[in-house]
Structure 1
Amino acid sequence: MSSPRSGRPSRSPFARPQDDGPRASFRQLLPYLAEHRPVLAVVIGLSILAAGASLAQPALVSQVITVVQSGESLGMLVWALIGLVVASAVLSGFQHYLLQRTGTSVVYSARRQLVRRMLRLPISEFDTRRTGDLVSRVGSDTTLLYAVITQGLIDAIGGALVFVGALIAMLIIDPVLLGLTVLVIAVAVVTVVTLSMRIRVASRKQQEKVGDLAASVERSLSAVRTVRAANATERETAAIEKDAEGAWQQGLVVARISALVVPVSGIALQVALLVVLGVGGFRVASGAITVASLVAFILFLFMMIMPLGQAFGAINSVNQALGALGRIQEIVTLPLETDRDAEITPVAAIESDAAISFENVEFSYPEGAGPAAAPDDPEGAELAAEERAAADRVVLRGVSFDAPRGKRTALVGPSGAGKSTILALIERFYDPTAGVVRFGGVDIRGLDRVELRSQIGYVEQDAPVLAGTLRENLLLGAPDATEEQCIEVLRSVNLTEVLDRNPLGLDAPVGESGIMLSGGERQRLAIARALLAAPPILLLDESTSSLDGLNEQMLREAIDAVAVDRTLIVIAHRLSTVVDSDQIVVLDHGRVVGVGTHSELVQSTPLYKDLAKHQLLV
């Protein structure tokens, strides 16, 4: 079976759907902005200056008209007006640059926080979540925060200053015209606010559909060879297209609601303008106001409508961002792997010669969780299904055994016996439901996870290889290893051919998930990675399952060489690889049914004898 450490969610299309999660509030958006307070303060200052320059222009235009009507010389009025226009443009351009820069920085900060949180979540979270959906949160959802800065809040702040200033100027010019204008605008504002609530809900659903699409694409591409071999290309394409259609349809919902905001703004401007022209013309004719005042009022009207449009856009952008932020916050607010460690009271340490000890350990996976199987591993898929179904039953039942220090302990038994779960508990991907797992006599729940894992090398059954180079894979667990050490460890696992066939040597790419390597080469590279770190304890889960006889023998010799004074705990279905172990632990349905050497177990444990007989070892 695939180890829980792989962190890959189930690829089954029947995986538990994610709930809608919490909806973000505006207050949750503020911390992303607070990090950039100095720059935002400068932007707001520029907005104030730009607003002042804009508001001064209609007043100057009014004076120009009055001067022209009186036949006097314009003097410096024209140059002052030109200066204000240029200053307003320069300030707006610099403000735009700072907004773009800040928006990009906010997205970067959000992605950094999300990734740092995501990679520290409990393994059980990855058991139940789809990889593609998580990737979508880092990519697509965080991008919507950019619009909040560049098209939303700060523009709205500057616009609000212009709006208020224009409102005051219009009140001074003609309160009657202002009252009629405000009445028209108030209707538009109420309409936009009503629509904005629907935009937030629709935007969140759209982002969820995009996450579903990303998860479907990741699912199919990661198993594209299996899909092709099963002649399932058309079915997978149809499934992805269905998710794409769902995202498209939800996008249309957002577009339809958002589209209503635009005509509302336009209609408000047109109606307000018509009212001002009609009523204002009458008032000019009656002598209540002058032509210059009416022109200034109209200019202020345009200045008031423009920030109103910005405010409508800001409401739209913020509500879309809050929909995406809800998905981001769903991950950010999840407890980390270490968050509950303070609540655990480890049992007292004891004197022990064992490197690892299990004392009456029981364990069941959290609901919906459990190891994921590789798509081309039927046996692993069967086991993963069994263990995911174990949410309502115990996977390990009173397991007790010692792994002596410096010795080799093998775990054997049929699929579903709980062997890989034991390794997951040693690595502390999960904590036991009951009982104690000890490391050198100390309850591992009382040890620092980083320090614990630095003492353990773990090779999973599906031998994951990271996209990148041979060197990057080797240095994952031993970042300070030299080139000579890397080459030597590759030679020890018979991977010199991989080095020789590419002139780049250690810098040769291995492809996505190590696709440029054979299955056996990927497994040997994963083992080399563990051997290079040289930890005192090695956990090997079916480490030779993909190897031919020659490479298996060479690998066994390599492991024997590094096993001196080290503790090995090995899982194997092929008993031939573990018959010479110092101790063999036989498991069946989560229970230990026998402990001893090969010869002892053949005599004492019927299950082991039956396994050995089927593999022609007795």
Structure 2
Amino acid sequence: MPHPGHGMRSFTQDSSVTEHRIARRTLRRVLSFARPYRGRLAVFLLLLALDAAAGAATPLLFRHLIDDGIAAGDRGLIVLLASGAAVLALVSAGLAVAERWVSSHVGEGLILDLRTAVFDHVQRMPLAFFSRTRTGALVQRLNGDVLGAQQAFTSTLQTVVSNGLTIVFTLAAMLAMSWQLTTLALVLVPLFVLPARWFGRRLATMTREGYELNAEAGQLMNERFNVAGAHLAKVFGDPERENARYGEQVRRLRDLGVRRALVSTWFRVGLTTLASVAIAAVYGLGGLQAVAGELTVGVVVALTAYLGRLYGPLTAMSNVQVDVMTALVSFERVLEVLDLVPSVAQKPDAADLRTAVATRGAGVELDGVTFRYPSADEVSLASLESVAALRTDPTGDTLRDVSFSVPAGAMVALVGPSGAGKTTVSQLVSRMYDPTAGAVRIAGADLRDVTLDSLRATVGVVSQEAHLFHDTIAENLRYARPDATDADLEAALRAARIWDLVERLPDGVETVVGDRGYRLSGGERQRLAIARLLLKAPDVVVLDEATAHLDSESEVAVQAALDEALVGRTSLVIAHRLSTVREADLIVVLEQGRVVEQGTHLELLQASGLYAELYRTQFAPAEPAPAA
């Protein structure tokens, strides 16, 4: 399957034709983001034109002030022209403030648009994308790259337009005064323009490398500074080793920064030196012409002033190619993410699953389901992935022709050895992935044909690791139902057998649970996750070994909460407790991605197959002795 980001990756190739094609395509996309700001951009361009005209008029005033005022001894004209120059300076200052006001509104608006576009697109990506993506690299795209892309609309645009107009006005005035000296000044123009291409390519490459290194450093901090990573580092890590690893990454960033600064400095110093040589030449030749009576002193002074206004913008315009190429690197990295096509997406004509559930009940069916986990090229970008992810692409099908059905309100237990495909089945029912072949249906509707909102409302999941955001208990629960009242929260917490504990907390439901809920025990997190599920009130419940790693006391409390959660709901349970398996209306036994047995507990024991073996080795020893 061709990957939507492959075309963007070719930017790193050396072909100038490819670079040119990509640059043009990216520029068109840049302009599409600017479309909502057409009016403000027009005002911005008008202000730039007025500012350039005001700046170009100033040396003309000085020319007349010297030739017609000072040389002629006309005090009135001197005062008038000096006052005019002061007024032009004030006008330029006012125009500069106005330009900044407009450009900041446009630039900050574009940052908002880009960030929300990337965030919205990323959150719609399938689970496979996040399982491969480095979080630090993704955050870098959302922050650093977006800010870099924004430069194309503000400082770069201002540089191009303002300096372009300044060059035009300046050359017109210079040609009117002395075409000979103007021609001399223009001889050096190619020396300002030609180096820009080479320096631009070098700096663009360094910019891309810098983004990658920043992403790696950010990923390391993200992994080490979240509570789970910090705990692992405390148990197994070595502070000196961690510091050395981070230090190596930031040293590479330092070295790159030094190289980048030197390249930029050589470029800037070379252009500044050329400008100084040109100004000295004009002063010399112009002075000789003034002594010979061919030019006035005022013209020589005005011409040298114009040279400063010519070479300064030329230097800036030469840097524009550098700025544009580095800005395009940022923009292309943002567009790489926006161009990723979610492998799990909603059809335009998708139906509401809740309507089918209300009519036919929430029965679940897997019909000839075959599934292979997607490869890297199908779900992500090489620049966002870890090396480990790239080396672990799937080589075969995880599920093969799996078929079974669960009537509405019934419970099916999935059992089998590790790696049999139990969790994969549960993820297909909640549409974390789509099957490679076959269909997954709820209420007779193929999940690929229903809206994602209605599917989320219909299916609830409690996994082995209950995740909580760094927020209050109330906000973690309302994540499932934002309009829930305090009374709704209390009812869900009571049903989840955790209200008594929450009530004893100093801040009650407003208690902050910490990063990933680590201020709570595993059993408490699981019961909060069940409360969140109850608050959502789904028709189908998926339990992925929700009590697998709990102590006996917590397991009893969580199991009681689960019993409450499953009443009247269709449930798909990956279980390790025999009591849960016994209560199931149907047991589906998986091995190596295939259904090898189906039936009730007694039926499967009598069949003396894999289930009977699992019962003897796994379930029976774990079953607690009956109470006296």
TM-score normalised per structure 2: 0.87
- 2:364 corresponding residue in structure 1: 356
Query: Distance in 1 between the 2:377 and 2:312 partners?
Result: 53
1:330 alignment partner AA: E
- 1:282 corresponding residue in structure 2: 288
- 1:175 corresponding residue in structure 2: 179
CA deviations 1:269-304 (Å, max 9, x no partner) are 211111111111122122221111111111111111
- 2:59 corresponding residue in structure 1: 58
Question: Matched residue of 2:598: which SS?
Answer: strand
Question: Once the 2 structures are TM-superposed, how far is the Cα of residue 616 of structure 1 from its aligned partner?
Answer: 5.7
Question: Once the 2 structures are TM-superposed, how far is the Cα of residue 571 of structure 1 from its aligned partner?
Answer: 0.8
CA deviations 1:555-590 (Å, max 9, x no partner) are 333332332321011112233433222221111111
- Name which of 593, 597, 602 aligns with 2:596: 593
Question: Matched residue of 1:74: which SS?
Answer: helix
Is 1:436 the counterpart of 2:439 in the alignment? yes
- 1:190 corresponding residue in structure 2: 194
Question: Matched residue of 1:545: which SS?
Answer: coil
- 1:126 corresponding residue in structure 2: 130
Is 1:462 the counterpart of 2:450 in the alignment? no
- 2:9 corresponding residue in structure 1: 21
CA deviations 1:403-457 (Å, max 9, x no partner) are 1210111111111111111111111221111112111122222222221221111
Query: Distance in 2 between the 1:338 and 1:242 partners?
Result: 39
Query: Distance in 1 between the 2:509 and 2:417 partners?
Result: 39
Q: After the TM superposition, which residues 406-445 of structure 1 pair with which residues of structure 2 at under 5 Å, given as runs?
A: 406-445=409-448
Query: Distance in 2 between the 1:480 and 1:352 partners?
Result: 28
Structure 1 alignment gaps of length 5 or more: 1-17, 372-384
- Name which of 90, 98, 105 aligns with 1:101: 105
CA deviations 1:323-378 (Å, max 9, x no partner) are 1212111101111345584799xxxx9x987711111211111124999xxxxxxx
| Residues 526 and 558, structure 2, Cα contact 8 Å, conserved in 1 | no
Question: Matched residue of 2:441: which SS?
Answer: strand
1:530 and 1:343, CA in 2 relative to 1: closer, same or farther beyond 3 A?
closer
| Residues 399 and 592, structure 1, Cα contact 8 Å, conserved in 2 | yes
Q: After the TM superposition, which residues 360-509 of structure 1 pair with which residues of structure 2 at under 5 Å, given as runs?
A: 360-368=368-376, 391-496=394-499, 498-509=501-512
1:500 and 1:469, CA in 2 relative to 1: closer, same or farther beyond 3 A?
same
Is 1:546 the counterpart of 2:549 in the alignment? yes
Is 1:556 the counterpart of 2:556 in the alignment? no
CA deviations 1:22-53 (Å, max 9, x no partner) are 54623332233333222222221111111111
1:178 and 1:257, CA in 2 relative to 1: closer, same or farther beyond 3 A?
same
- 1:113 corresponding residue in structure 2: 117
1:70 alignment partner AA: A
Structure possessing the higher relative contact order (Cα contacts under 8 Å, 6 or more residues apart) = 1
Say what the alpha-carbon RMSD is for the aligned residues. Answer: 2.8
Question: Once the 2 structures are TM-superposed, how far is the Cα of residue 463 of structure 1 from its aligned partner?
Answer: 1.4
1:162 and 1:370, CA in 2 relative to 1: closer, same or farther beyond 3 A?
closer
- 1:298 corresponding residue in structure 2: 304
1:494 and 1:240, CA in 2 relative to 1: closer, same or farther beyond 3 A?
farther
Q: Please state which structure has a larger fraction of its residues in helix.
A: 2
Structure 2 alignment gaps of length 5 or more: 1-5, 12-21, 351-355, 380-387, 622-628
- When structure 1 is superposed on structure 2, of 576-585 and 525-534 the one drifting more is 576-585
Query: Distance in 2 between the 1:386 and 1:549 partners?
Result: 36
- 1:231 corresponding residue in structure 2: 237
- 2:212 corresponding residue in structure 1: 208
1:44 and 1:493, CA in 2 relative to 1: closer, same or farther beyond 3 A?
same
- 1:71 corresponding residue in structure 2: 73
| Residues 364 and 405, structure 2, Cα contact 8 Å, conserved in 1 | yes
Query: Distance in 2 between the 1:20 and 1:44 partners?
Result: 31
Query: Distance in 1 between the 2:390 and 2:265 partners?
Result: 49
Percent identity of the aligned residues? 33
How many residues end up aligned between the 2 structures?
Answer: 585
2:42 alignment partner AA: A
Query: Distance in 2 between the 1:263 and 1:49 partners?
Result: 30
Query: Distance in 2 between the 1:322 and 1:269 partners?
Result: 29
Query: Distance in 1 between the 2:203 and 2:423 partners?
Result: 47
- 1:46 corresponding residue in structure 2: 47
TM-score normalised per structure 1: 0.88
Question: Matched residue of 2:439: which SS?
Answer: strand
Query: Distance in 2 between the 1:65 and 1:563 partners?
Result: 94
2:457 alignment partner AA: S
- Name which of 306, 310, 327 aligns with 2:333: 327
- 1:12 corresponding residue in structure 2: none
1:559 and 1:608, CA in 2 relative to 1: closer, same or farther beyond 3 A?
same
1:432 alignment partner AA: P
| Residues 358 and 402, structure 1, Cα contact 8 Å, conserved in 2 | yes
1:159 and 1:220, CA in 2 relative to 1: closer, same or farther beyond 3 A?
same
1:352 and 1:529, CA in 2 relative to 1: closer, same or farther beyond 3 A?
closer
Question: Once the 2 structures are TM-superposed, how far is the Cα of residue 207 of structure 1 from its aligned partner?
Answer: 0.8
Query: Distance in 2 between the 1:238 and 1:582 partners?
Result: 56
Question: Matched residue of 1:579: which SS?
Answer: helix
1:478 alignment partner AA: R
Query: Distance in 2 between the 1:291 and 1:170 partners?
Result: 14
CA deviations 1:161-205 (Å, max 9, x no partner) are 111100111111111111111122321211123211222222112
- 2:14 corresponding residue in structure 1: none
| Residues 523 and 558, structure 2, Cα contact 8 Å, conserved in 1 | no
CA deviations 1:206-226 (Å, max 9, x no partner) are 112211221222222231101
Question: Matched residue of 1:21: which SS?
Answer: helix
| Residues 407 and 566, structure 1, Cα contact 8 Å, conserved in 2 | yes
